Amino acid sequence: MRMFAQAHQMPPRVAAGAFFLSSGLSKTTADRETAQGVHGMAAGTYPFLRKLEPEAFTRLLSKAEIALGVALLVPAVPSLPVGAALTGFAGGLLGLYLKTPGMREEGSLRPSQQGLGLAKDVWLLGIGLGLVLDELLHR
């Protein structure tokens, strides 16, 4: 495994990293109502999350997003593990898109207007998989 990101890996890493860092930082000041909304959507798709209090879940999500964002932005973090982490996180987001009612047009994978924001997260999956494959294929 290479210890530093390659130059061609940095543009997608910066794009995804800035997105995650911004998203995580915005959740650090989430009020109770926001935390309940974020938790409710996640717990609706992933029932095991119901065990967590909304505020605790949102704080944990915030920390995970900040950590992933920083890892993507720092070239010293190898692309294989950060790509794998991004792929896993993006898979969870796409699970929300696929399993949450109203996110897709009926009988289709096409997003509804409400689901457009989550459907766009497919680019995160592409970046994560690209980083992983680049590292695995160029050893």
The answer to whether residue 92 is domain-embedded is: yes
pLDDT recorded at residue 120: 86
The answer to whether residue 89 is domain-embedded is: yes
The answer to whether residue 2 is domain-embedded is: no
Average pLDDT of span 63-73: 98
**pLDDT over 80 at 56, yes or no:** yes
Q: What is the largest CA-CA distance in the chain?
A: 47
The answer to whether residue 72 is domain-embedded is: yes
pLDDT recorded at residue 52: 97
Nearest CA-CA partner of 17 in 58, 70, 64: 70
d(CA 62, CA 23): 7
Structural domain that includes position 73: 9-137
Tens-place pLDDT, residues 116-128? 988 889 999 999 9
How many domains does one find in the chain?
A: 1
Report the DSSP beta bridge partners of residue 88: none
Average pLDDT of span 109-116: 92
The answer to whether residue 75 is domain-embedded is: yes
**Which range is least confidently modeled, 68-77, 98-107, 123-132?**
98-107
Q: Which residue has tokens 């130059």?
A: 7
Tens-place pLDDT, residues 10-51? 999 999 999 999 999 999 999 999 999 999 999 999 999 999
